[in-house]
C-alpha cells in the first residue's frame, strides 16, 4: 500500500514538472513575441487556440497567461478573455517624466553611496549590454539595459527608488523595443558609450556629472521614441 502511494506521489510530481516545463515554454515564447511586438497590443490570447498551437493542454497555457498578466504584458478582460496589453500612448509624457526622474535620482545616489562590489556588478551588466548591442539582439538589449539601471539603483541604497525604477523599466520594455526598432536594431555607438560615462561618474563619486549624464541619456531616448512614433503616425495617415 505504501509502495503504491509512493508511486502515485512520484507520478504526480513528474506530471507537475512536465506541466511546469510546458508553462515555462509557452510563457517564454509568448513573452518574446509580445516584447518584440510580433504580437500586436490588443491581440487575443485565446487558451483554445494557444493549446492547439503549442500542442498542450489548457492548464500550462493558463499558467503562462497568469504570469504574463502579472508582468503587465497581458490583460484579462471583464469577459475573462485575455489579450496582449495595450500601450497607452496618451500616457507616454507622464511615463517619460517619471522615467527621467528615476534615471537621474538613482544615478546621482549611486555616485554617493556605491561600493566597489556594486561598481563591479554595474560594469558586468554594462558589458553584457554592449555585447547585446554588437549582436543587434534587441530582446537581450532590453533585458541587459534593465539589469544595468537596476544595478545602479541598488547601488544608490534606496529600496523605494529601486522598486519604482524597476517597475517603470519593466512597464516600458515594449517602448524600449520601439526605441531600438527606430535604429533598425543598430544602436549608434555613442549611446552605448553613454552607459560607460555614467559608470565612470558613479565610480568617481561625481554626483553632479552622474545626474547630468543620466538626464541627457533619458532625454535622447525620449526624443528618439517620440520622433519615431510621430513618423509612424504620419506614415499611416498618408496611407
Distance CA 150, CA 166 (A): 6
CA neighbor of 152 nearest in space, from 197, 186, 187: 197
Distance CA 62, CA 64 (A): 5
Is residue 188 pLDDT above 50, yes or no? yes
Distance CA 207, CA 92 (A): 28
* Chain segment 58-115, per-residue pLDDT in tens: 999 999 999 999 988 999 999 889 999 999 888 999 999 999 999 999 999 999 999 9
Q: Which residue has the higher pLDDT, 14 or 25?
A: 25
Q: Which cell numbers hold the place of 50?
A: 494557444
pTM of the model: 0.80
The tally of CA atoms less than 13 A away on the side-chain side of residue 28 is 6
Mean pLDDT of 131-141: 96
Residue 5 banded pLDDT, cuts 50, 70, 90: low
The contacts of residue 49 (CB under 8 Å, 6+ apart) are: none
The contacts of residue 2 (CB under 8 Å, 6+ apart) are: none
| Residue-level pLDDT at 80 | 87
Cβ atoms of residues 155 and 124 within 8 Å:
no
| Residue-level pLDDT at 4 | 59
> CA-CA distances (angstroms) from residue 126 to 143, 175, 193, 194, 231?
11, 20, 10, 10, 31
Residue 237 banded pLDDT, cuts 50, 70, 90: very low
Residue 21 banded pLDDT, cuts 50, 70, 90: confident
> What is the residue whose three cell numbers read 500550462?
60
Q: Is 52 exposed, middle or buried (0-12, 13-18, 19+ CB in 10 A)?
A: exposed
* Chain segment 168-180, per-residue pLDDT in tens: 998 899 999 999 9
* Chain segment 139-178, per-residue pLDDT in tens: 999 999 999 999 999 999 999 999 999 999 988 999 999 9
Mean pLDDT of 16-37: 84
| Residue-level pLDDT at 60 | 95
Mean pLDDT of 53-59: 94
DSSP the chain: -HHHHHHHHHHHHHHHHHHHHHHHHHHHHHHHHHHTTSS-TT-B--HHHHHHHHT--HHHHHHHHHHHHHTTSEEE-TTS-EEEPP--GGGHHHHHHHHHHHHHHHHHHHHHH--HHHHHHHHHHHHHHHHHHHHT-HHHHHHHHHHHHHHHHHHHT-HHHHHHHHHHHHHTHHHHHHHHHHTTT---HHHHHHHHHHHHHHHHT-HHHHHHHHHHHHHHHHHHHHHHHHHHHHHHHH-
pLDDT, averaged across the chain: 90
| Residue-level pLDDT at 238 | 47
| Residue-level pLDDT at 6 | 54
Cβ atoms of residues 139 and 38 within 8 Å:
no
Is residue 239 pLDDT above 50, yes or no? no
| Residue-level pLDDT at 71 | 87
Task: Provide the percentage of residues in the chain whose pLDDT is more than 70.
Answer: 89
* Chain segment 213-223, per-residue pLDDT in tens: 999 999 999 99
Q: How far apart are the first and last CA of the chain?
A: 73
Amino acid at each position: 500500500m505504501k509502495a503504491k502511494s509512493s508511486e502515485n506521489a512520484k507520478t504526480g510530481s513528474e506530471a507537475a514538472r512536465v506541466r511546469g516545463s510546458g508553462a515555462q515554454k509557452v510563457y517564454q515564447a509568448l513573452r518574446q513575441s509580445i516584447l518584440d511586438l510580433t504580437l500586436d497590443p490588443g491581440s487575443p490570447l485565446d487558451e483554445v487556440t494557444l493549446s492547439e498551437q503549442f500542442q498542450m493542454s489548457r492548464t500550462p497555457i493558463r499558467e503562462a497567461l497568469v504570469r504574463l498578466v502579472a508582468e503587465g504584458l497581458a490583460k484579462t478582460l471583464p469577459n475573462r478573455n485575455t489579450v496582449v496589453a495595450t500601450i497607452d500612448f496618451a500616457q507616454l509624457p507622464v511615463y517619460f517624466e517619471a522615467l527621467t526622474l528615476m534615471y537621474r535620482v538613482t544615478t546621482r545616489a549611486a555616485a554617493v553611496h556605491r561600493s566597489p562590489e556594486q561598481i563591479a556588478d554595474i560594469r558586468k551588466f554594462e558589458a553584457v549590454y554592449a555585447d547585446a548591442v554588437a549582436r543587434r539582439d534587441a530582446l537581450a538589449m532590453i533585458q541587459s539595459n534593465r539589469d544595468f539601471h537596476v544595478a545602479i539603483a541598488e547601488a544608490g541604497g534606496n529600496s523605494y527608488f529601486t522598486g519604482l525604477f524597476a517597475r517603470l523599466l519593466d512597464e516600458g520594455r515594449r517602448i524600449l523595443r520601439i526605441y531600438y526598432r527606430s535604429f533598425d536594431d543598430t544602436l549608434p555607438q555613442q549611446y552605448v558609450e553613454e552607459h560607460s560615462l555614467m559608470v565612470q561618474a558613479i565610480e568617481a563619486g561625481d554626483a553632479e556629472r552622474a545626474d547630468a549624464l543620466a538626464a541627457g541619456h533619458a532625454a535622447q531616448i525620449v526624443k528618439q521614441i517620440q520622433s519615431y512614433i510621430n513618423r509612424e503616425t504620419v506614415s499611416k495617415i498618408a496611407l
